[in-house]
Structure 1
Amino acid sequence: MPSAPNGGEPAGYRPPDLTLRGAEHVRRYLETDGEVGYEWNGVPILLLTSTGRKTARPRTSALIYGTDGSDYLVVASAGGADRHPAWYLNLLANPVAVVQVKARRIPVTAHTAAPEERERLWRIVNDYWPNYEVYQSRTDRPIPVVALRPE
């Protein structure tokens, strides 16, 4: 992606509105069954509750998602950080989780896309959030795409 003339983010990067994020995003989504927080910066959001790999306690994150058939797709981008987000590490340790889409809670099993399927799924999630390409440009780690398959 070409760089912006001022040397900042690449052309086409859309800075998100961060007024609702993190724990506050999760809290408002839960309180309203997604009436507040389901749509964020024009994209759909689900809540992912995984089991903490160190604490064994439930951990909930608000994540942009796409779909592939009945699978929910999420991206372990962390904005292009060099480390995987905690929710992804939790899923690696225990792939059984729950997603909430609006008021609906769905048990799922997580699967990280293998290299041969990642390319196709990457295109799907980028249709939802083109900034993922920018996030990938910020790090050397391949950003995982995770399929959350309903049980």
Structure 2
Amino acid sequence: MAVKDSPTSWVNEHIQKYVETNGAEGHEWRPGVHTLLLTTKGRKSGEMRRTALIYQPSGDDHVVVASQGGKPTHPAWYLNLEEEPVVDVQVAAEKFQARARTAGPDERDRLWKLMNEVWPAYTDYQQKTDREIPVVVLERIKG
């Protein structure tokens, strides 16, 4: 099935460079800021949709933030993974399936701090919105 990339032009360009170079270009988006590619199944369309997200490793897992720049609604990719939590992930040249879950209250604070270390703007984004910005844990599916 064909994958549809983000309709946001600069994100789309980033994804294309990432895919074409198998992560050699695009994995490090800015100095010290790394991105992964997340592919979710569209909850309405059923189409596979891909976006690039800043991430941090946490043990064997990868952590991303559903900030959408502090907009009042969750990003489409987050709504998609709530409906279907099995996702495809690419980190640099490595590709794998993961099960996505929203971090619970017991771990959210720690993971929020972890993500803010690499992208401090998340704090600003949270101040722009009344919604609690979800922190998402991508747990690799073994096998």
For 2:74 and 2:115, the matched residues in 1 are separated by 17
Identity %: 51
Q: Which of 81, 91, 101 is 2:81 aligned to?
A: 91
What is the rounded CA distance, in whole Å, between the counterparts of 1:130 and 1:107 in structure 2? 28
Inter-partner Cα distance in structure 2 for 1:120 and 1:99: 23
Matched, 1:131 2:135: no
Question: What are the equivalent positions in structure 2 for 1:4-43 lying under 5 Å apart?
Answer: 21-42=10-31, 43=33
Task: Name the counterpart of 1:66.
Answer: 56
Q: What secondary structure is seen at the aligned counterpart in 1 of 2:53?
A: strand
Give the Cα separation in 1 of the matches to 2:22 and 2:82. Answer: 27
Deviation for aligned residue 1:21 = 2.9
Amino acid at match of 1:135: Y
Moved segments of 4+, more than 3 Å: none
Larger deviation, residues 78-87 vs 113-122: 113-122
Structure 1 residues 76-127: Cα deviation after superposition (integer angstroms, max 9, x where no partner): 0000000100100000000000110111101100010112211111011111
Query: Larger % of strand: which?
Result: 2
TM-score (norm 1): 0.84
The 3-state SS of whatever aligns with 2:35 is strand
In 1, the alpha carbon distance for the partners of 2:93 and 2:51 equals 15
- Give the one of 111, 114, 118 matched to 2:101: 111
How many aligned residue pairs are there? 132
Structure 1: runs of 5 or more not aligned: 1-19
* Matches for 1:50-65 after TM superposition, within 5 Å: 50-65=40-55
- SS of corresponding position for 1:142: coil
For residues 12 and 44 of structure 2, what CA distance do their matches in structure 1 show? 19
Instruction: Provide the secondary structure at the position in 2 that maps to 1:105.
Output: strand
- CA shift, 1:36, in A, is 1.6
1:10 is matched with none
